[in-house]
């Protein structure tokens, strides 16, 4: 078993355990949540691989039309996080609405807490495999990778940014932030909203330091600061979506509070 696969298993076990524990506190059914996690993991892996293949192809369509077999190499990799995340979001909406009808936002709040710690361990796996690597650097903590999985690393003789460790630390901070927010939450949907916002910012800025293939760019400038990658576009969409959901959920909670005050006020007067 290679290190990447090992941390894939570790992140699933720990992330799922946290979700199951919090689900129990949220009075959600164990069997339904267990099924949700197992199918979600499978769908997430498929989505990550599909995203990697699609955007690798779009980065150089002419080359891959002539060499379609090389795309299989990208399908055999761990894939891209955003592909798995987006497909799992659609799956989760369907599953939660069908099987956990009244617990929609409760489940989403809990899931992203487990997802944040899942991502932390996932990036450790990336570091062990040498994938998702950064750009060349002269900083004291720059690292060298001799292999990319089992192949020679493209930058084996160059110090590069340990972007995996940067994101690992930020995901751990995000996990603690979301967990504390969940314990003190005043309305459902708040934790999920902040996950979208927080991770959107984390990934947007990490992208400036990433240097691995298959990123795909809407705008490719002369430097990172004048470029806009597809993961950055998705990050911006997450941030905007998180802000919209946060405002709507906060507005709904405020309306409920006003309504309850009016009802209780009438009862007292009566």
C-alpha pair distances (Å), 73 with each of 67, 69, 170: 11, 8, 30
Tell me how far apart the alpha carbons of residues 127 and 30 are, in angstroms, rounded to a whole number: 33
Mean per-residue pLDDT for 162-172? 97
Least confident of 41-50, 161-170, 190-199: 41-50
Number of domains in the chain: 1
Give the range of the structural domain holding residue 91, as residue numbers without chain letter.
Answer: 3-269
pLDDT bucket at 263, cuts 50 / 70 / 90: low
pLDDT at 103: 77
Given a cut of 60, is residue 1 above it in pLDDT?
no
Query: What does the angle CA 255 – CA 261 – CA 266 come to, to the nearest 5 degrees?
Result: 130
pLDDT bucket at 5, cuts 50 / 70 / 90: confident
CA nearest 44: which of 98, 78, 85?
Answer: 85
Given a cut of 60, is residue 270 above it in pLDDT?
no
The tens digit of pLDDT for each residue in 93-107 reads 999 888 887 778 999
Tell me how far apart the alpha carbons of residues 77 and 190 are, in angstroms, rounded to a whole number: 34
Given a cut of 80, is residue 231 above it in pLDDT?
yes
C-alpha pair distances (Å), 115 with each of 17, 194, 241: 11, 13, 18
pLDDT bucket at 84, cuts 50 / 70 / 90: very high
CA nearest 22: which of 175, 171, 179?
Answer: 179
The tens digit of pLDDT for each residue in 130-148 reads 989 999 999 999 999 988 8
Q: Which has the higher per-residue pLDDT, 197 or 213? A: 197
* Rg (the chain; Cα; Å): 21
Least confident of 64-68, 125-129, 134-138, 240-244: 64-68
């Amino acid at each position: 078993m290679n290190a990447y696969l090992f941390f894939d298993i570790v992140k699933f076990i720990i992330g799922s355990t946290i979700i199951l524990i919090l689900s129990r506190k949220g009075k959600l059914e164990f069997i339904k949540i267990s099924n949700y996690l197992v199918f979600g993991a499978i769908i997430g892996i498929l989505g990550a691989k599909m995203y990697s293949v699609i955007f690798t192809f779009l980065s150089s369509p002419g080359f891959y039309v002539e060499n379609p077999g090389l795309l299989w190499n990208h399908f055999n990799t761990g894939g891209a996080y955003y592909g798995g995340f987006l497909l799992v979001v659609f799956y989760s909406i369907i599953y939660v609405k069908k099987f956990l009808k009244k617990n929609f936002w409760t489940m989403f709040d809990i899931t992203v807490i487990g997802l944040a710690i899942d991502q932390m361990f996932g990036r450790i796996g990336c570091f062990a495999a040498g994938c998702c690597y950064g750009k060349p650097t002269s900083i004291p903590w720059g690292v060298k990778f001799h292999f990319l999985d089992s192949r020679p690393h493209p930058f084996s003789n160059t110090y590069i940014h340990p972007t995996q460790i940067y994101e690992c630390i930020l995901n751990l901070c995000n996990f603690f932030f979301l967990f504390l927010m969940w314990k003190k939450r005043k309305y459902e949907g708040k934790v999920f909203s902040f996950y979208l916002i927080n991770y959107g910012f984390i990934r947007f800025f990490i992208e400036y330091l990433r240097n691995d293939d298959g990123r795909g760019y809407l705008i490719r400038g002369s430097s990172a600061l004048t470029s806009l990658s597809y993961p950055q576009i998705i990050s911006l969409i997450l941030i905007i979506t998180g802000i919209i959901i946060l405002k709507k959920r906060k507005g709904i909670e405020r309306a409920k509070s006003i309504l309850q005050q009016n009802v209780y006020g009438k009862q007292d007067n009566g």
